Amino acid sequence: MTQYRSLGRTGVKVSPLCLGTMMFGARGNRDHEDSVRIIRRALDAGINVVDTADVYSAGESETIVGKALSGGRRDDVVLATKFHGSLGEDPNERGNSRRWIVQEVENSLRRLGTDWIDLYQVHRPEPDTDFDETLGALTDLVRQGKIRYIGTSTFEPSAIVEGQWTAERRGRERVVAEQPPYSLLARGVEREVLPVAQRYGLGVLAWSPLAGGWLSGRYRKGAEQPRSSRADRQAERFDIASPENTAKLDAAEALAQLAEEAGLTLIQLALAFVLEHPAVTSAIIGPRTFEQLEGQLGADAVRLSRDVLDRIDKIVPPGTNLSARDAGYVPPSLTEPELRRRGH
């Protein structure tokens, strides 16, 4: 039986596994009927939170989710979606501005076939947009009843704190949840993001707990590199020849051996590890097929022994990202040289 957890301090109860829907639509499973069946199977298994985004297959994922929740299933689901990414050539069809938020929430509501979104999340930070501008627009949407709660995704600790400060000082609705990348191979958020989330009572929905497929069991030493749509889109992240990925492959091999000794699949070990952290509310799984979903269901019932957790720490030390690309967001202070140099 599913043991539901509190989403931060909202009083909302959510399942430890969250169904992510990035792989439904043109980026993954193009069969809408099959995707709907997968979503409904997850709901039947006790998952009650579904996460999507407007940019997943350019809105197609939201449309599929809307189909799956039709026929009376909407009220039983904590529905989360996100905005920020570009959806057109117009420079204003993206971002965290009031102009875009007010426009795009209507598009998401239409695609999802619902009157409200439970958790509306800022998909990425946007340093050149005043966060009060963003929170002000989202606060209005809460008061209009179009969204229930505000969340963020892949925010740095300082930005999380800024959001709390802004809400308090400006009388805005508070951010109640953060969605960071977290896995056995990407433990960087253990340093500050997760402790800060705990300090402010935020719910945490961890994305990519299988490290983009590296912990699916398909990546093994000596085996041919598997093909996937994600690897095709992000070739550098999956190039086994790179030093970062060689380290990930070595770690995945050691973790697979540890899982086998513990009587678990690598997937079960990976998901159970993420759910073991006291800051984490739910781990987001992102199946493309029925087989992938079935291999992940039930992992929330697995508890890892102290010995297994200690051995994990030796394979991938706490707070370590084996690849910088797995952090999910690189701030402009690192990508734009002019921000680090005085004018000449």
Active site residues: 56
Distance CA 337, CA 111 (A): 40
Structure tokens at 21: 């829907």
CA-wise closest residue to 131 among 168, 153, 163:
163
CA 252 to each of CA 66, 187, 337: distance values in angstroms, whole numbers, following the listed order: 36, 14, 34
Task: Report the distance separating Cα 163 and Cα 285, nearest Å.
Answer: 27
Q: 254-263 contacts: CB < 8 A, separation 24 or more?
A: 254/315, 255/184, 255/215, 255/312, 255/315, 255/316, 256/217, 256/220, 258/308, 258/311, 258/312, 258/315, 262/304, 262/305, 262/308
How far the first Cα of the chain sits from its last, in Å, is 64
Token pair 């961890």 in the structure block, residue:
206
Enumerate the H helices of 45-146 as residue ranges: 60-68, 98-112, 131-144
Contact 180, 189 (CB under 8 A): yes
Degrees, nearest 5: CA angle 282-169-332: 60
- Closest to 148 measured CA to CA, from 173, 119, 170: 119
